[in-house]
Amino acid sequence: MVEDRIVYLNGEFVAWGKARVHIMCHSFGRGSAIFEVLSLHETLSGAAVFRLDEHLHRLYRSAALLDAELPIDKKDIHQAVLESVRRNGVREGFVKIICFYPQISFEILPPQRKLDVSIFVVDPVEDLGGLAFPSEKGTTACVSKWRKLDPETVPVEAKAAANYLNGMMARAEAKKRGFDHVIMLDTQGFIAEGGTESVFLVKDGILMTPGLGTILQSISRKSLLELAPILGLCAIEGRLKPDLLFEAEEIFFSGTPAKALPIRRIDERVLEGVPGPLCRKLSGGMEQIVAGRDERFKHWLFPTGE
């Protein structure tokens, strides 16, 4: 049960119920927390965290973009993540790092630059009742009326809590319309991303995904782009018109819970043969990697010693 989990909080390990802040704290009232969600996998060599180094690099990048400061260095957080996994005995699941301002504040600016650091480890089956990702049969999505946050309004590359109101509203719209997921366009009208996922398309056998600039620098997205040429696939990044959603042979999402989640319906268009061949190829490649069976990508896995 989730209540039995141990939480890392500012250099100490505390009971789940002790991981608290006041409702009036700045990060609750202003959405100023930053975070990372990492996947944890059972591999041939035991439990391992996927691309821990990349997640920590992005965490520190988020802090810098918000002019915030983390009180400990990457090496210390790295060790704290692995120790958190060991103490919780989870071998397959997720790690969430949340950095926040705990101080009570009425002001729009945070009371200080330094953030508090917390780390949570969960087993999605035991603690969260499983995850609703129908990866085998695919998912449904619609194009949202809500546009992705413009990079001239906030740093969209920061994985900050307030930025996710954008995806939440879009996903809520999709649910009302009878869809599982959503695809948002940017303010210039090009394909951006899902509520919390990156978007990939296949047209004429070429793998395509929106370029960086108006989207989060997704680690799952980066992983698929690095894997694609190894599998003999041609991949391009760029500004993709929404018409492609109704022309592409394949469309799929990529994120931490599902590295390649096929879309079987986009608005009123039904795609046949889901998952398609490229999605299957990439998904199969990622399955081999996270299981520790592909020596070429062993450096993506960080054993916990559990």
pLDDT digit string (tens) for 64-95? 999 999 999 999 999 999 999 999 999 999 99
Contact (CB, 8 A) for 255 and 245 = no
Q: Domain 2-128, what fold? A: D-amino Acid Aminotransferase; Chain A, domain 1 (3.30.470)
pLDDT band at residue 133 using 50, 70 and 90 as cut-offs: low
Mean pLDDT of the chain: 96
Domain boundaries defined on the chain: 2-128, 139-290
pLDDT value for 137: 82
Q: What is the pLDDT of residues 210-235, one digit of tens each?
A: 999 999 999 999 999 999 999 999 99
Instruction: Look up residue 96 and give its amino acid.
Output: K
The vertex-84 CA angle with 78 and 90, nearest 5°, equals 120
Is the pLDDT assigned to residue 134 strictly greater than 80? no
SS3 202: strand
Q: What is the mean pLDDT of residues 104-115?
A: 94
**Domain at 139-290: CATH code:** 3.20.10.10
Q: What is the mean pLDDT of residues 102-115?
A: 95
Instruction: Look up residue 272 and give its amino acid.
Output: E
* Exposure class string for 246-257: b at 16+ Cβ within 10 A, else e: eebbbbbbbbbb
d(CA 72, CA 297): 28
pLDDT value for 128: 85
